[in-house]
Amino acid sequence: MVNDPRVTTLLGRLGGLYRDPARVDRDASSLLKSSVGIHLTPGISPLVQNNGDSSHCLVLQGTIAIFFRGNTYQLLVDIYLSPGYPIKPPVSFVRLADNMYLKENHAHVASDGMVYLPYTHKWDQRTHSLIEMVVAMSSVFSADPPVFTRAPAPAPQPPPAYSAYVSSSNNNNNNNNEQ
C-alpha cells in the first residue's frame, strides 16, 4: 500500500518525533484509506499529557460512523498519535458539534471528551491497529452514544396584546376642568 502523501509530509515537518516514523506513516495512511477512516484528515496539533507536558504530534481529525436506532450518525473525533506511538496507544477525544452535549458519566468518555476503550487499554503494537481501534470505537459508541442533542429552547412567547383604552368620560371631565 502506498502511504498517504499528506501523512508523509506532516511526519517530515515533525522531524524525529517518532521512533518508527515508517510505522506511523503506514498505520495512519492505512486508516485514512480504509472505509472507517475516509472522513478523517491528518494534521499536527499539540497533545497535553496527564503530567502537563505538551508536544505537537500527528492527529487524525474528522468523523467516524456510528449506528444507532437504525440511523447512521457521524461522530466528531480527534485521534492523536503521541510521540510514544506505536508502543503507546493512540489518544482519542470525542468532539462536539453545535447543539451537541457529552453524556454525563459515560462508561467510555470522560467529561473532557477523552475516550477510554478496552481495546486501547490492552494495546499491543504487534497485534493492534488504528483501523481495528476505530472499528471498536464505532461499535462501543453505536451501543451507547457518548453525545446527544437537546432541542433548542422554545422562543419566549410575546406578552398578550392589549389595547390602550381611554375613557371618554375621563376626557370630558378633563376638558370641563380646563374651562
Per-residue pLDDT, 73: 93
Strands 71-81 and 91-94 come out as antiparallel
Per-residue pLDDT, 46: 96
Per-residue pLDDT, 8: 96
Strands 91-94 and 100-102 come out as unpaired
pLDDT in tens, 168-177: 555 555 555 5
Which residues sit opposite 58 in a β-bridge?
44, 81
Q: Is the pLDDT of residue 2 over 60?
A: yes
At 98, the pLDDT band (50, 70, 90 cuts) reads: confident
pLDDT in tens, 49-83: 778 889 999 999 999 999 999 999 999 999 999 99
Handedness of CA 12, 56, 97, 100 (dihedral sign): positive
Per-residue pLDDT, 167: 53
Q: Is the pLDDT of residue 178 over 70?
A: no
Residue type, 55: S
Q: What is the pTM of this model?
A: 0.83
pLDDT in tens, 103-114: 999 999 999 999
- Domain annotation for the chain: domains and CATH numbers: 5-154 (3.10.110.10)
User: What long-range pairs does 147-150 form, CB within 8 A, spacing at least 24?
Assistant: 147/75, 147/94, 147/96, 147/100, 147/101, 147/102, 147/103, 148/100, 148/101, 148/103, 149/99, 149/100, 149/101, 150/99, 150/101
DSSP string covering 115-143: B--HHHHT--TTT--HHHHHHHHHHHHHH
What is the average pLDDT value for the chain, to the nearest integer?
Answer: 89
At 38, the pLDDT band (50, 70, 90 cuts) reads: very high
pLDDT in tens, 106-136: 999 999 999 999 999 999 999 999 999 999 9
Contact between residue 100 and residue 148 where contact means Cβ atoms under 8 Å apart: yes
C-alpha to C-alpha distance for 139 and 17, rounded to whole angstroms = 31
Residue 45 buriedness (CB in 10 A; 0-12 / 13-18 / 19+): exposed
Per-residue pLDDT, 50: 77
Per-residue pLDDT, 179: 46
Higher pLDDT, 22 or 170: 22
Q: Is the pLDDT of residue 137 over 70?
A: yes
